[in-house]
Structure 1
């Protein structure tokens, strides 16, 4: 074999290895699953407000179409309508903080922080773990999430006030 043939085999082998690495990396990035975290919860009579952090590090956008809360033996779906959480007058205009509803679109390599309401909870007792069932792009997941922060009413007002001022 001549020097030219040896170099061309080495270059072809390196090109093959790089394309194989690229194909594996692309496959992996497309199939990264979204992750759900609970930022805080707030309980009011028969309603539970849950602030979620939804992270999508995939190279494809994802759509969260349904969120359910396992409540004792019941399964309760998140509110189908926007619930009014807080209203204030800012700059002589009334601004309202609404809860989010599904579907929630999460672009590729980004995150979202919706506040989801679960209403008409009967015999609900808030524990350190919430079991959420959610459907992302047609695939059903069930996950037990730790509740690290339960907001009292005063802290809930502060959190919603911050959201009003920064999202409107």
Structure 2
């Protein structure tokens, strides 16, 4: 439903698919970097939204292009997002996770919306331009859980562990609303 609303907004505003991807990604990273949240409010809403972004991107891609292969428009939008170094650095520092790398990992391995080669090129460019102190080793993408970071608000481990529970709740709500 949300993907359809975004597609309608795209039509009304006269946006290209690339511009829609760019705005969706920019808003997701702005939410992650926003200091206006209470400690666990971001875990509920911003973290949930960030987890759902790959599925929304896939829905938009499948609807607009009709295929399930990689999306050049998405790669172009991600390259533009990766040039917003200050935004990404602040998001990474605030959430204690390499957020762009997490997103690329989801888009590449789970959904195949981008190729591994494109993901590696974007990550390499990001690392070159980044001022961030968050490294891949501390991002938690490899499943390692550090006890020193596991209690931080905004911690990605808690968000990622809640993904299956959130998905099952959404399925039940969807079934009861039909």
TM-score by structure 2 length?
0.25
Mark the structure with the bigger radius of gyration.
Answer: 1
